[in-house]
Amino acid sequence: MHGHQAVRDAIREHRLLCVNDTFRFLEWSTPDGCATCRPAINYYLISTWPKLARDDPQSRFINERSHANIQKDGTYSVVPRMWGGETTADELRRIADVVDKYAIPTVKVTGGQRIDLLGVRKEDLQGVWNDIGMPCGHAYAKALRTVKTCVGSEWCRMGTQDSTQLGKDLEHAMWRMYAPHKVKFAVSGCPRNCAESGIKDVGIIGVDSGWEMYVGGNGGIKTEVAQFFTKLKTAEEVMEYTGAFMQLYRLEGWYLERTVHYLARVGLDYVKRRILDDEAGRKALWADLQAALEGEPDPWFETRRAAVDTRQFIPILAAATGAGTHTTEITA
Ligand code: SF4
């Protein structure tokens, strides 16, 4: 038996770069691991050694392998990314055309200010991504999902800060960020808090003097109210403090541990010491996160270039008869 921390320590101290090396080094009881340990180890590898560790698709859940959420009837849901919840007429037109072309039965606005296309057949996924031409929303992944915003000072009479722009900036900076669990942000332009920043992993609220930052909230089975973390003056500070907190969580959180549970384990005071009191450490964490995300591919774009194994998108029958480019189906 190996605990989460022991596995993380071994990966870091012994520069383990792939799942099988980790199993061998730790003399794992089952040589190929199982559905519980493989995703955790894969996450620890890629978060500890970005750009170096080998991401193993077979160690990811089916949703992450397919880059879409499997639904109860075996079809998938597709959620394109809408930066800070904003969209355009052109994007909406493309979404509408995709819905017609692929006969997608349900279109739903999510609670995270995005559009969910439900009932997409697996063999249509690549076509849908291609035709929509929008970035992946990672709605299926242990990663940054939505950054919810209110309209803020640009349009709202009550707005004191430009929450939409800050939300878009945060999302552009941190999308493609895998984490121990799903991560959601929100930015509200004034204390009326229309973006519900109080129940997000990082919630930002505009005030007259700048911004208030809250951490460790979530909706879910047990709603957790985020804790006040600090007051900041500028949007640049919000980016830095949010990025540093996320990187600390990425490096220290255990797989499937939400921020609220990470904070309960290590203590809010510890995180404050690391982020608020240690300026050099905070800047280093933020720099490390930016370096880790630099050049990371959009998984939908990656599949458009056929840089990943696309066998999983070919129906079994077509594969068996030789149609398509491969002959086997990856099992779920
Ligand atoms: S939070 Fe404030 S600024 Fe944002 S929409 Fe609500 S009232 Fe307006």
**Ligand 1 pocket, residue 246 CB under 6 Å:** no
Token pair for 133? 């031409």
Contact yes or no for 22/13 (Cβ under 8 A): no
| Helix ranges restricted to H, 54-161 | 62-66, 89-101, 125-132
pLDDT-derived band at 62 (thresholds 50, 70, 90) equals confident
Closest CA to 77 of 87, 68, 86, 64: 68
How far, in Å, CA of 255 to CA of 18, rounded?
A: 17
The atom number, within ligand 1, closest to the CA of 159 reads 3
Q: What's the CATH superfamily of 142-304?
A: Sulfite Reductase Hemoprotein, domain 1 (3.30.413.10)
Q: How far does the centroid of ligand 1 lie from the alpha carbon of residue 25, in Å?
A: 53
**Ligand 1 pocket, residue 158 CB under 6 Å:** yes
Mean local confidence (pLDDT), 13-27: 94
Name which residue sits closest to atom 2 of ligand 1, judged by CA: 190
Closest CA to 62 of 149, 170, 141, 165: 141
Task: Give tens-digit pLDDT for 22-43.
Answer: 999 999 988 888 888 999 999 9
pLDDT: is 28 or 303 the higher one?
28
**Ligand 1 pocket, residue 161 CB under 6 Å:** no
Q: What percentage of the chain exceeds 70 in pLDDT?
A: 91
| Helix ranges restricted to H, the chain | 4-13, 19-25, 37-48, 62-66, 89-101, 125-132, 163-174, 235-252, 259-266, 268-272, 279-293, 299-304, 316-320
**Ligand 1 pocket, residue 152 CB under 6 Å:** yes
How far, in Å, CA of 117 to CA of 105, rounded?
A: 8
In the chain, residues under CATH classification 3.90.480.10 are 61-141
How far, in Å, CA of 123 to CA of 63, rounded?
A: 15
Name which residue sits closest to atom 3 of ligand 1, judged by CA: 159
Task: Give tens-digit pLDDT for 305-328.
Answer: 544 556 566 655 554 444 433 322
Total residue count of the chain as it appears in this document: 332
| pLDDT number for residue 258 | 97
Q: How far does the centroid of ligand 1 lie from the alpha carbon of residue 151, in Å?
A: 7
Q: How far does the centroid of ligand 1 lie from the alpha carbon of residue 107, in Å?
A: 27
Token pair for 12? 């870091």
* Probe target for ligand 1 pocket from 187, 194, 197, 214, with the most ligand atoms within 8 Å of CB: 194
Quote the mean pLDDT of the chain.
Answer: 91
∠ at Cα 296 (291, 302), nearest 5°?
170
Please, what is the angle between helix 163-174 and helix 235-252, to 10°?
40
Q: How far does the centroid of ligand 1 lie from the alpha carbon of residue 168, in Å?
A: 16
Q: How far does the centroid of ligand 1 lie from the alpha carbon of residue 156, in Å?
A: 6
The atom number, within ligand 1, closest to the CA of 195 reads 1
Task: Give tens-digit pLDDT for 84-132.
Answer: 999 999 999 999 999 999 999 999 999 999 999 999 999 999 999 999 9
| pLDDT number for residue 32 | 85
| pLDDT number for residue 313 | 62
pTM for the whole structure: 0.91
pLDDT for 166 beyond 70: yes
Q: How far does the centroid of ligand 1 lie from the alpha carbon of residue 11, in Å?
A: 45
Residue 281's SS3 state is: helix
Token pair for 29? 């009881």
The atom number, within ligand 1, closest to the CA of 190 reads 2
In the chain, residues under CATH classification 3.30.413.10 are 142-304
- Write down the residue that tokens 């071994």 correspond to: 10
pLDDT-derived band at 302 (thresholds 50, 70, 90) equals confident
Name which residue sits closest to atom 5 of ligand 1, judged by CA: 150
The strand order across the sheet containing 106-109 reads 69-70, 76-78, 115-120, 106-109
Task: Give tens-digit pLDDT for 130-159.
Answer: 999 999 999 999 999 999 999 999 999 999
**Ligand 1 pocket, residue 159 CB under 6 Å:** yes
**Ligand 1 pocket, residue 204 CB under 6 Å:** no
* Probe target for ligand 1 pocket from 151, 162, 207, with the most ligand atoms within 8 Å of CB: 151
Answer whether CATH 3.40.640.10 is correct for domain 61-141: no
pLDDT for 180 beyond 60: yes
